[in-house]
Amino acid sequence: MFNGSETTAVCVILIIAVAILAWGYNRAKSYGKLGILAWLQSVVLMIPWLLFFVLFAAGIYLNIVGIIFLLVASAGVYIYLGNRLRAAGQDVMIQERAAQRIKEEQELNSQEKRAENEGKISADLLPIPEEDLKIIQGIFGIDTFFATETISYQEGAIFKGNLRSDPEKAHERLSGKLKTALGEKYRLFLVESPEEKPVVIVLPSSNDPETTTLAQKNLALVLFVATIATSLEAVSLLQGFDLFNNLGRYKEAIPLSLGLWLILVAHEIGHGFLAQRYHIRLSVPFFLPTWQIGAFGAITRFESLLPNRTALFDIALAGPAVGGIVSLLMLIVGLILSHPGSTFQLPTGFFQGSILVGVFARVILGEALQQPIVDVNPLMIIGWLGLVITALNLLPAGQLDGGRVVQAIYGRKIAKRATIATLVLLGIVILINPANSIPLYWAILILFLQRDLERPSLNELTEVDDHRAAWGLLALFLMLITLIPFSSGLAGRIGIGVHY
């Protein structure tokens, strides 16, 4: 039977998981059958992890074969639901097109009359030259975006009206016409107004993201060197000596530092590969040195406008996905290679600090986790550090990878709320455990450097597809179980702790 603390820990974890699924369901049900099928896909991705944890909490331990079976079964159901989703989507698309055609015919006359009666803003009040303004107004039409009002905005203009086709197709045609008429002089954004209606914003290309300056590149170089130093120092402390007081032993710290840097580089390669696929320029990475775990990853800015939210999602998730996979493989291989007499000796309580790490350790190391000290291979330590770095970058806040993922899936309003919630949660963690400086460091970083959302993409209206939304939810769930620790009672229940 569970005692009070064990029951509380299990309930908290399950409540978080159920809350994520319930949030997704409430969002999905408004889309009918398509939304429910998409939500079920996200459920299927999370079920193996939830089932695995619940069985663990109940004292039922699956071996590697059982884990593989769960993952394969989940993948099979996921593919089946995907086929159902595509079939249902085709039927809905046909119905929507028919309804849209009728609606367009009914509204066309009334909109044309309203457009003629709308108060026109004088070209003298707009920052766009009158000749350019006339050309821009000429790109709109009843088959893309029917403009009814022009408003001055920054160095460009906002065009209010009615979107008359699929956002992706409308943006593609409008941008093509604008580029043909005026070259690269202006950029066209299709976004949602505060009134939640589609609007077109046209801004001069001089407002494009700035490239990294020489001073910023020098700062990146300084941070890079500092991160090398802190990573060497962090792994030397893990090995039982202080490198800065024993510089002659630097060779001993290099191998583990290389493992950590492999994870950091894999993370940045993931971002870079997808950015190159979308023809997006990224700034040089600004690495974040720290004494605690060597590095907190890197900050990377977009130096190009993003075409849509799908590009934002793919580029943002690619880094944590690649870095996380490399870290997890290191963790698993390190655990498999661990044996009595391995290089590192860790107290058993160490494995209570992360649900994800503790579960894998219990599956692979078994009864060894019931001893006071556990001998582990160095790869296990590096894998754990990599998972922590990946999880911290997946926090749903601002311009962190997790914040970008939430913005891509749910839009800017939800992303702002998620940022505030993350900062509040970090504040609570700091108050509960003031001795741990990592939450404080991360809260300061978000508050002063990363709290702002990513600038809107050129087509902000087209949402990411349901497959990406499901993978994004899975990534956020894995982030949680990486950072959330076991309670001592629950850890003892599943065999992580000293056995008397």
- Is 104 inside a domain boundary? no
Do 158 and 199 lie in a common domain? yes
- Residue 97: the pLDDT is 47
Give the mean model confidence (pLDDT) for residues 100-127: 50
Task: Give the percent of the chain with pLDDT over 90.
Answer: 22
Round to whole Å and give the CA distance between 348 and 368: 9
Do 21 and 86 lie in a common domain? yes
- If 0-12 CB within 10 Å is exposed, 13-18 middle and 19+ buried, where does residue 148 land? middle
- Is 253 inside a domain boundary? yes
Do 412 and 479 lie in a common domain? yes
For the ranges 49-63, 127-141, 382-396, the maximum mean pLDDT occurs at 382-396
* Phi, psi for 376 (deg, rounded to 5): -135, 155
Range of the domain at 68: 4-97
Last residue of a domain, one of 207, 240, 263: 207
**What long-range pairs does 452-455 form, CB within 8 A, spacing at least 24?**
452/398, 452/399, 453/398, 453/399, 453/403, 453/407, 453/412, 453/415, 453/416, 453/419, 454/302, 454/306, 454/312, 454/399, 454/403, 454/404, 454/407, 455/209, 455/302, 455/305
Do 195 and 227 lie in a common domain? no
pLDDT tens, position by position, 433-482: 776 777 787 788 887 777 788 888 999 988 888 888 888 888 888 888 88
- Residue 366: the pLDDT is 81
Task: Give the percent of the chain with pLDDT over 70.
Answer: 74
Last residue of a domain, one of 191, 207, 223: 207
Do 229 and 169 lie in a common domain? no
List the Cα angle 400/403/408 in 5-degree steps: 125
Do 37 and 150 lie in a common domain? no
- Is 106 inside a domain boundary? no
Lookup result for tokens 């000749």: 131
Give the mean model confidence (pLDDT) for residues 270-277: 94
pLDDT tens, position by position, 325-361: 999 999 999 999 988 887 788 888 888 888 888 888 8
Do 126 and 232 lie in a common domain? no
pLDDT tens, position by position, 411-432: 888 888 888 888 888 888 887 7
The pLDDT confidence band at residue 79, using thresholds 50, 70 and 90, is low
- Is 498 inside a domain boundary? no
Residue 2 above 60 pLDDT?
A: no
Round to whole Å and give the CA distance between 289 and 293: 9
pLDDT tens, position by position, 351-388: 888 888 888 888 888 888 888 888 888 899 999 999 99
Round to whole Å and give the CA distance between 122 and 139: 19
- Residue 315: the pLDDT is 95
- Is 111 inside a domain boundary? no
Do 259 and 142 lie in a common domain? no
Do 357 and 446 lie in a common domain? yes
The pLDDT confidence band at residue 283, using thresholds 50, 70 and 90, is very high
Three-class SS state of 400: coil
Task: Say if residues 446 and 398 touch (Cβ distance below 8 Å).
Answer: yes
Instruction: Read off the tokens for 286.
Output: 């600004």
Do 194 and 224 lie in a common domain? no
Which of the two residues, 231 and 368, has the higher pLDDT score? 231
The b/e string for 168-180 (b: 16+ C-beta within 10 A; e otherwise) is: eebbbbbbebbee
pLDDT tens, position by position, 142-191: 888 888 888 888 788 889 888 888 888 989 999 999 999 888 899 999 98
- Residue 339: the pLDDT is 84
Task: Say if residues 333 and 27 touch (Cβ distance below 8 Å).
Answer: no
Number of structural domains in the chain? 3
- Is 103 inside a domain boundary? no
Residue 479: other Cβ atoms inside 10 A: 24
The pLDDT confidence band at residue 118, using thresholds 50, 70 and 90, is very low
pTM as predicted? 0.75
DSSP characters over 425-488: HHHHHHHH-TT-HHHHHHHHHIIIII-SPPPPPSB-SSPPPHHHHHHHHHHHHHHHHHHSPPPH
Do 148 and 218 lie in a common domain? no
- Is 113 inside a domain boundary? no
- Is 109 inside a domain boundary? no
